[in-house]
Structure 1
Amino acid sequence: MTALAYNFKSDGLYYNILSETDRTVEVTYYRNDGYGSYYNDAYGDIEIPSKLIYDRKTYKVTSIGKYAFYKCSGLTSVTIPNSVTSIGISAFYNCSGLTSVTIGNSVTSIGNSAFSNCSGLISIIVDESNPSFSSIEGILYNNDATTLIYCPITKKTVTIPNSVTSIGYSAFSGCSGLTSVTIPNSVTTIVQSAFSNCRGLTSVTIGNSVTSIGKYAFSGCSKLTSIYCQGTKPPRENPRESIVFSEAILKECTLYVPIGCQAAYEAVDPWRNFWNIEEMDFSGIDDIISDNIGISVINRAIHIDNADGNMLVEVFNLSGKSVYRGHGNIVDGLSTGIYIIKIADKSMKIKI
């Protein structure tokens, strides 16, 4: 049944009163249809107030409620004040016009899917004094950057820092422009739906410390052709979250594992379900080039982002033959296969 969901409206936004005693309110939607759709007519660049007056009473805005701006396509940017302490589940879900979000210093909780499917979102910026969350290059992390919470889906290349130990719920969900990702050795957990619907993703390298992978972690990754698991012990799946890979991935994607470990991977789920498992020598190859250099493959060309123009770039095939040596940031003309890229004293494998 359709129902109004707010107590009052002020300056184009809808609010629920949380406490008359404390005079606190949350931002909310104006109605729901009873079938899982919520409505808000907010438009343009919005700066949510820290306090407001209604019926001759002053209220403090302390929360962005769940589904508050759900599918609010007219919203282009939002600034969340220091008075707000929480952002609810799916608060900005599918806000297709939203390009930037600025979060104040008092937010201590952000609900699942708060920014999922925001197809135009470029960056999330967190106040530097926030004790709970941080942002690096527009990507949302917890304060000490041990958990990657959300990556805007417009990102094409992402370098995950070595501080990260967990890839959070739906962290990369819908990142259709992402073509390859290297998960560093520091990461131990990939949570449910972490890379779901990354439809451009072709290659994933999983570091040697991952212990668990959650349900639907790679669902909808229809172009995934290569998974590189560097751990000598196969990452485990949660028995209660056993659907990690689609049938298409299991059939079409090649799983590369360390030399001498194929039997171990063929003995446990979900790895034993892969049709194609091959052994590879991962020794001597770092999981990332550096903390700020991004490597990606676009239209069969290797793109190197943020590298110093004076840095020597070398590309070798797996036989050790040099196929490129120079200072460019794009290497093309290579045939399909696996290559080793070396910049300064760091190297990594990549597949074309």
Structure 2
Amino acid sequence: MIWNARNVQDTFLSETWIPKPPFPDSDRLTEFVFGEEVEYIPAYLCYQLASLKKLVIGNSVTSIGNHAFFCCSGLTEVTIPNSVTSIGDYAFADCTGLTEITIPNAVTTIEGYAFTRCTGLKTVTIGNSVTTIEDGAFNGCTGLTEVSIPNSVTSIGDYAFADCTGLTEIAIPNAVTTIEGYAFTRCTGLKTVTIGNSVTTIEDGAFNGCTQMESVTIGEKVESIGESAFAKCNSLTAVTSKAVTPPQIWATTFDDYAMTLYVPAGCKSKYAETKYWRNFTDIRETGVTLHTVTANATDETMGYVIGAGEYPQGSTATLVAVPFGQNYFVRWNDGNTDNPRTITVTGDMTFTAEFAPAGSAVETLENGERGIYATGRTLHVENGGESYRVYTAAGRLVYTGNDSSVTLSAPGMYIVRTGDRSQKVAVK
């Protein structure tokens, strides 16, 4: 049976007068045609009309009322014309037979729960004038596998795509500033998420329970990520944050901090020092070339070197030669005697530390001999103004310069290196 409505406004007294379609044999109605005279489709017009299979909506219709086709489970075909500017709350909710829908370009808002629980819906095309996807708009559309959110959208509401278990990837456009609470919660098929560069806030639970999510890219302007936003994302192996300043997060934002965190070049230390971000055990910088700094000892029984590893191009690395026992550090393989030694990383680099035993090239001097002696904590070096270095017995450099006397912070055995000669002096 086909119902041809030329002027719905003349047929119904009130847009909110409801419970059941007031036309003859409505339970046998399979097709509803709205003529060119119709300007709006009233609320609850075909409420729970399971027999309805097809809608033909004329080009004069500008709005579809709340619950207009709520629970029309047999509806499989509907074309919404470009004249429509408003789709009301629950307008097509529980229309489980729908498989695809196109939101026309004139629509600016997809209102709350407009297509909720349309479990047969597979594809949604959203017009380029839509700015707001309200709460629960596509909540529970378990068959939805493809949705393209246009760059016009600025707001995605609470639970907007919750339980859309068929979605495998989603890209949040650059115009969106807030992803509201639980917007994509329990989208268990979702594997990849890219969040646009205008998003500043990701609210609580936004992607909670996305158990197949493998990676997420967080835009450069994100300032805060709510509690449990990525909790129960059990497959997450990589998080990329483009934000130079680490966004505010909570202990529960992520369940697991063992995955790799990629951050902008030069920002690793910021994230490593920021509350909760520092829980990540593997933080890496992106967009930089890494070089390997190798550091070892000529004789590993006499000492070792710390500070080797991978460093970004142009960064600095600090190497420390640490002797065992009474051994002492002599020089690096290129003749440099700084210890610790700071280098600028320009490529793959190798440094070897030379150590010597305490008695090999060291003279134990009595006070006054050869112009090097100690009185209390003051070390005196009569060196004629030449530069010299003072090391602890462990090889730590404590002074470099040409002062005739140096006050040392602690008693012990010190090594004074003048030119190519090392001499030992006891400071009490």
**Aligned residue identity for 1:26:** P
**1:235 corresponds to:** 247
Q: CA deviation at 1:106?
A: 3.6
**1:298 corresponds to:** none
**2:19 corresponds to:** 5
SS state at 1:228 partner: strand
Matched, 1:41 2:53: no
Matched, 1:282 2:286: yes
**1:76 corresponds to:** 76
Matched, 1:185 2:197: yes
- How many residues were matched structurally? 246
Deviations 1:264-314 (A, max 9, x none): 432xxxx46x954432112359xxxxxxxxxxxxxxxxxxxxxxxxxxxxx
**1:250 corresponds to:** 255
**1:56 corresponds to:** none
Distance change (3 Å), C-alpha of 1:102 and 1:180: closer
Deviations 1:157-189 (A, max 9, x none): 34555x344364465455433212232434333
Q: Is the 8 A contact 1:120 1:154 kept in 2?
A: no
SS state at 1:98 partner: coil
Residue identity (%): 31
| C-alpha distance in structure 1 between counterparts of 2:52 and 2:186, whole Å | 24
Distance change (3 Å), C-alpha of 1:284 and 1:103: same
> Normalization by structure 1: what TM-score?
0.51
Q: CA deviation at 1:96?
A: 4.4
Superposition map of 1:174-213 within 5 A: 174-191=186-203, 194-213=206-225
> Normalization by structure 2: what TM-score?
0.44
Q: CA deviation at 1:250?
A: 1.8
SS state at 1:250 partner: coil
SS state at 2:283 partner: strand
Q: CA deviation at 1:111?
A: 1.7
SS state at 2:236 partner: coil
Superposition map of 1:249-328 within 5 A: 249-251=254-256, 254=259, 256=261, 258-266=267-275, 271=276, 276-284=280-288
Superposition map of 1:59-208 within 5 A: 62-66=63-67, 68-69=69-70, 73-93=73-93, 95-126=95-126, 130=129, 138-141=147-150, 143=152, 145-146=153-154, 154-160=166-172, 163-166=174-177, 168-169=179-180, 172-191=184-203, 194-208=206-220
Runs (5+) with no aligned partner, structure 1? 15-21, 32-38, 52-59, 286-317, 321-352
SS state at 2:42 partner: strand
Q: CA deviation at 1:214?
A: 4.9
Moved over 6 A (4+): 148-152
| C-alpha distance in structure 1 between counterparts of 2:96 and 2:260, whole Å | 35
| C-alpha distance in structure 1 between counterparts of 2:125 and 2:112, whole Å | 18
Q: Is the 8 A contact 2:62 2:86 kept in 1?
A: no
Q: Is the 8 A contact 2:197 2:219 kept in 1?
A: yes
Question: Rg bigger for which structure?
Answer: 2
Matched, 1:224 2:240: no
Q: CA deviation at 1:113?
A: 3.9
SS state at 1:141 partner: coil
| C-alpha distance in structure 2 between counterparts of 1:75 and 1:244, whole Å | 42
Q: CA deviation at 1:147?
A: 5.1
**Aligned residue identity for 2:200:** T
Distance change (3 Å), C-alpha of 1:255 and 1:231: farther
Deviations 1:228-248 (A, max 9, x none): 3332423236xxxx8974xxx
| C-alpha distance in structure 1 between counterparts of 2:57 and 2:252, whole Å | 39
Q: CA deviation at 1:210?
A: 0.7
Q: CA deviation at 1:107?
A: 2.4
Distance change (3 Å), C-alpha of 1:147 and 1:225: same
Runs (5+) with no aligned partner, structure 2? 1-16, 33-37, 134-145, 290-309, 313-428
